[in-house]
Amino acid sequence: MVRETDVTTSHLVYPLFIEAGLHGRQPISSMPGQDRLGIGALKDEAKSLAALKVPAVLLFGLPAGKDEQGSGAWARDGIVQQSVACLKDANPELLVIGDVCLCEYTSHGHCGLLTPSGEVDNDRSLPLIAETAVSLAEAGCDIIAPSDMMDGRVAAIRAALDSGGFATTPILSYAAKFASAFYGPFREAADSAPAFGDRRGYQMDPANSRMAMDEVLTDLDEGADMVMVKPALPYLDVLRQVRDAVDVPVAAYNVSGEYSMIMAAIQNGWLDEARAIDETLTSIRRAGADIIITYHAKQFAARQ
């Protein structure tokens, strides 16, 4: 009754990795308990999420082929675009969030197009990012979540969604996204490690929290409906600052490395599973998150 902070399954979003051409499921070795799913595995997955009352998923795709531009990201028959209908057929209540980025689809693994000298070309990437957002909305995604971090992407996506007939589709922007070591396991899961260089040119320096606030306010100005802080645990201070500064819903992404770290310790018998997960999710809620994107969603839900 007097507990200040609650965590319920209704706060959680579960990320899914969907791989073209995969039959069934393929365990992700760096993320114990998580699998890549083939299209054929989505029906069962959607039903199990319904039974657990997990309300939402965030979709990442592993395409059959990659190219310089990342054309699989906006293909009308792309892997994520095809998946939305399968999930909704099996679980009509499921809220489906589409991650918008090119890194899983480009041969070089960067989040946008490259210039001839190998730099990310922010402005030429924007129309492709916007096109990806529209294709996901057409496929039935309820929320569009750009994670690419190109400058001006929220405005470009908002304009494209509006003119594409999706004026009411909300944008959840990865607003404060830090260049983090904790994305390591994700890059195996989504096969999206950059072939050269790193993402420090377009993701934020972990040392800068004022700049994070700037990014959040810019994204809201450009039309974001919700904002995200990512990763969660090493940035709970940033999450609190964002929560205090804005009135829109705030999401936190409890990322792959945060998950793998806890799961490795649990598997070694060094941490108690239920207590470690509950305390982690409680801390993220206490810092101000309305929504938590977490690979622990099903484990947590199964205990409710």
Positions that interact with ligand PBG (CB under 6 A)? 99, 101, 103, 111, 147-148, 183, 186-187, 199, 255-256
- Residue 256 or 283: the one with the smaller Cβ distance to ligand PBG is 256
Question: In this structure, what are the phi and psi dihedrals at residue 123, rounded to the nearest 5 degrees?
Answer: -70, -35
Query: Shortest gap between Cβ of 40 and ligand PBG (angstroms)?
Result: 24
∠ CA 113-161-36, nearest 5°, is 60
- Residue 132 or 165: the one with the smaller Cβ distance to ligand PBG is 132
Q: Which of 95, 6, 31, 106 is nearest to 61 (CA)?
A: 106
Is residue 289 within 8 Å of residue 252, measured between CB atoms? yes
Question: Which amino acid belongs to residue 118?
Answer: G
- Residue 111 or 216: the one with the smaller Cβ distance to ligand PBG is 111
| Closest residue to ligand PBG, based on beta-carbon distance | 186
C-alpha span between 47 and 73 (Å, rounded)? 26
C-alpha span between 236 and 72 (Å, rounded)? 34
Query: Shortest gap between Cβ of 217 and ligand PBG (angstroms)?
Result: 21
C-alpha span between 224 and 48 (Å, rounded)? 31
Is residue 185 within 8 Å of residue 260, measured between CB atoms? yes
47 catalytic? Reply is no
Is residue 253 within 8 Å of residue 230, measured between CB atoms? yes
Cα→Cα distances 139→8, 59, 89, 226, Å: 29, 12, 13, 21
- Residue 14 or 166: the one with the smaller Cβ distance to ligand PBG is 14
Among 66, 88, 177, 298, which one carries the catalytic annotation?
177
Query: Shortest gap between Cβ of 28 and ligand PBG (angstroms)?
Result: 11
Query: Shortest gap between Cβ of 1 and ligand PBG (angstroms)?
Result: 35
- Residue 148 or 215: the one with the smaller Cβ distance to ligand PBG is 148
Question: Which amino acid belongs to residue 209?
Answer: S
Q: If residue 275 lies in a helix (H) or strand (E), which one and from where to where?
A: helix 273-286
230 catalytic? Reply is yes
- Residue 30 or 81: the one with the smaller Cβ distance to ligand PBG is 30
Query: Shortest gap between Cβ of 167 and ligand PBG (angstroms)?
Result: 25
Q: If residue 214 lies in a helix (H) or strand (E), which one and from where to where?
A: helix 210-222
Cis ω before 231 (30° cut-off from 0): yes
Query: Shortest gap between Cβ of 103 and ligand PBG (angstroms)?
Result: 5
Q: Which residues are catalytic?
A: 177, 230
